[in-house]
Structure 1
């Protein structure tokens, strides 16, 4: 169980806090969805949860243990927006082994199977994959680390409707084994698989019912079909 209690992030150079008294609970095998516009603090929240930025105040706990930056780096696996821009390996195998030279072949195949890429040759270049396959590979890179919490920043950005649907189905499958926290500016199809939803605006987090976004997405889909 992830608990955030009155989490604050107010860097010295900022006139006001970027995150203001954030309270959030996310249970194991749940997908939490944080929806907000650009500049609302979504990516900052993920950076703090992954140990890349240091909170200013408040508490972060996993079960009953308060989390330090080192704990967070071990606990969470962060998939950046457009993760394909961060690939460094020349092949799928090299990408998965970065930072894990001791990784066993069965672990590599298991991670790829989890994201539906076990049919691809390990010698294939990550840059030669489709957009949807690249997002899946980025998830496999994090699964290799066996995190408790997957953190995803705008996972469907830039994908066509078919790839978005495939990725949403994959996330629904992954939450059977992991907790997921997803941030996005557009709930879209993600609302249908979310267990908890919040809006984030001007650094303030407010809980909402997932149905709120699901109904909105349904109306948009109906309008598009009518065109």
Structure 2
């Protein structure tokens, strides 16, 4: 269970806090959806939860353990908005073993199978994949680390409708084994698989009912 209590992020260079008293709870095997416009603080929230940024105040806990940035880097796996920009090796095998040279090729294959890319040759270049396949590869890169929490920044951005549906179906399957927190500016495709939902506006988080939002979207 992820607990966020009174989280504030106020860098010295900004006049007002980017995140203001955030409170959030997310249970294992749930998909939480944070919806907000550009500049609302969504990506900053994920950066804090992945240990890339440190909160000004507040508390983060996984079950009963208070989480430091070092803990968070082990706990969470962050998939950036355009993960294809972060690929830095020449093959799928190298990308998945980056930082984990001890991993067997069998474990790499398992990770690819989990995201529906098991049919690809391990010598394939990440840059040669389609947009949807690159999103799947980015998920596999995080899954191979076995995080407790998957953090996704705009996972369907820039994809056509058919590929978006494939990515959403994959996220729904992953929910059976992982806890997922997704941030997006356009939740229409994701509401159907969300267990909990919040809106984020000018750094303030509010709980909303995903079914109510889905009804309004239709």
Structure 2 residue aligned with 1:208: 208
1:13-162 alignment, distance < 5 Å:
13-162=13-162
2:189 paired with 1:186: no
Q: Secondary structure of the residue that 1:205 maps to in structure 2? A: strand
**1:81-119 CA distances to partner (integer Å, 9 max, x unpaired)?**
010011001111111011011111221111111100000
Question: How many angstroms apart in 2 are the aligned matches of 1:175 and 1:42?
Answer: 21
Inter-partner Cα distance in structure 1 for 2:173 and 2:7 = 30
Query: Post-superposition, which runs of at least 4 consecutive aligned residues in structure 1 deviate over 2 A?
Result: none
Give, in whole Å, the separation in 1 of the partners of 2:164 and 2:215. 18
1:175 and 2:175 aligned: yes
Deviation at 1:180, TM superposition (A): 0.1
- Deviation per CA, 1:98-155: give whole Å up to 9, x if none: 1011111221111111100000000111111110000000000000100000000000
Q: Whole-Å Cα distance in 2 between the matches of residues 153 and 213 of structure 1?
A: 20
Structure 2 length as normaliser, TM-score?
Answer: 0.99
Listed as ranges, the gaps of 5+ residues in structure 1 are 220-227
Separation of aligned partners in 1, 2:213 and 2:161: 18
Secondary structure in structure 1 of the residue aligned to 2:190: helix
| CA displacement 1:175-208 (0-9 Å, x = unmatched) | 0000000000010210000000000000000000
SS in 1 for 2:78: strand
TM-score (norm 1): 0.95
Q: Please, what is the CA RMSD of the aligned residues?
A: 0.6
C-alpha deviation, 1:214, in angstroms: 1.4
Are the counterparts in 1 of residues 93 and 105 from structure 2 also a CA contact under 8 Å?
Answer: no
Equivalenced residue count is 218
Aligned 8 A contact 1:2 1:63 in 2:
yes
Separation in 1 of the partners of 2:131 and 2:60?
Answer: 34
Q: Which runs of 5+ in 2 are unaligned?
A: none
SS in 2 for 1:189: coil
